Structure 1
């Protein structure tokens, strides 16, 4: 009597878990602002006064929200539900998720403390580590799907590598001269991606 083999474990549950955790992390970004709103209401401050006093917190929140959303969109395009969910591959996803879940903490530090070398390094450094892990995920995903005979874009790792290189550059510059303005180097991400593809550093 033939026994039916159980289907291979896919990444469907893993993706659902990652999406839920990322959504929670994005929600937690707002908590420091909610506390400051309560204080402003208690002190009978106007909206203009509140925005003026907490402008950097608002900027940090908006910046982190956009960056996490960008990472999620890239990750969403890299990870596919029909890819086998092995232990090493899952652990890599969880390592990347850690950098996302810690973002509310470094964002709160960024919005609440003066722009010092340690604070800048913790914020941009977290982004750089997250980008390098996302690049690794893309490389592993490409190899895993290729080995399984599943379709995969050859250029899947190009954008994560571009982000990783530029966030690392911003981190090094931020260590030399502490400033979040170095994040503006990210405007070069699309040209850098094109250069990497043209040079054959990543697949076309």
Structure 2
């Protein structure tokens, strides 16, 4: 996550070299700062989810390690996508696709991890209900990120505000969980 800050660090040096002040820096890099904070929160969310999942994994196989490396690749890529979203035009559909698509990829790799673990119960101490519940979260998140991507790219003026759809993760997760037969929490 520390890589997220590097583009901002460079921009501080650029403004300082041009004998600008902190106020100028904040004014010139407000979009970059918003991208940084949003991405920090999203990456933290992905890390916490990954940590919780692997807290009950007792053994790692080569395929599980490969899936985990794919997940890590998506996480390491996010600062690049964040830098692009903070530096390129808000109207650039490719940048939006790269940024939101990166988060879809992370969700899908997490889903692949859960599916692999569901097929290999000897590797972990996660109940089937927990795995199905996590699967519901992964599907909900991937679906909402995909909807946000479509909105961001196709509806003028919406842009990254489409990511506010992520506030619907809970209700969408509940719908998916019902379809997967996950019992309701008390």
Instruction: With the length of structure 2 as denominator, give the TM-score of the two structures.
Output: 0.87
Assess if the C-alpha contact under 8 Å between 2:4 and 2:40 holds in 1. Answer: yes
Q: Does 1:127 align with 2:106?
A: no
Q: 1:148 to 1:79 in 2, by over 3 A?
A: closer
Aligned to 1:110: 85
Distance 1:76 1:185 in 2: 24
Partner of 1:94: 69
- The change in CA–CA distance for 1:202 and 1:69 in structure 2 (over 3 A counts) is farther
Task: Quote the Cα distance in structure 2 between the aligned partners of 1:193 and 1:60.
Answer: 26
| 150, 169, 179: which one aligns with 1:200 | 179
Once the 2 structures are TM-superposed, how far is the Cα of residue 69 of structure 1 from its aligned partner?
Answer: 0.3
Query: How has the CA–CA distance of structure 1 residues 67 and 202 changed in structure 2, closer, same or farther, with 3 Å as cutoff?
Result: farther
Q: Offset at 1:148?
A: 5.5
Alignment coverage as a number of residue pairs: 177
Shift of 1:127: 0.6
For the structure 1 residues 148 and 107, does the alpha-carbon distance in structure 2 shift closer, same or farther, using more than 3 Å as the test? Answer: closer
Report the secondary structure of 2:134's partner residue. Answer: coil
For structure 2, the residue ranges without an aligned partner over 5 or more in a row are: none
Does 1:169 pair with 2:147? yes
Q: Per residue, is there more helix in 1 or in 2?
A: 2
Matched, 1:159 2:137: yes
- Equivalence map 1:23-102=2 (5 Å): 26-80=1-55, 82-102=57-77
Q: Distance in 2 between matches of 1:166 and 1:113?
A: 24
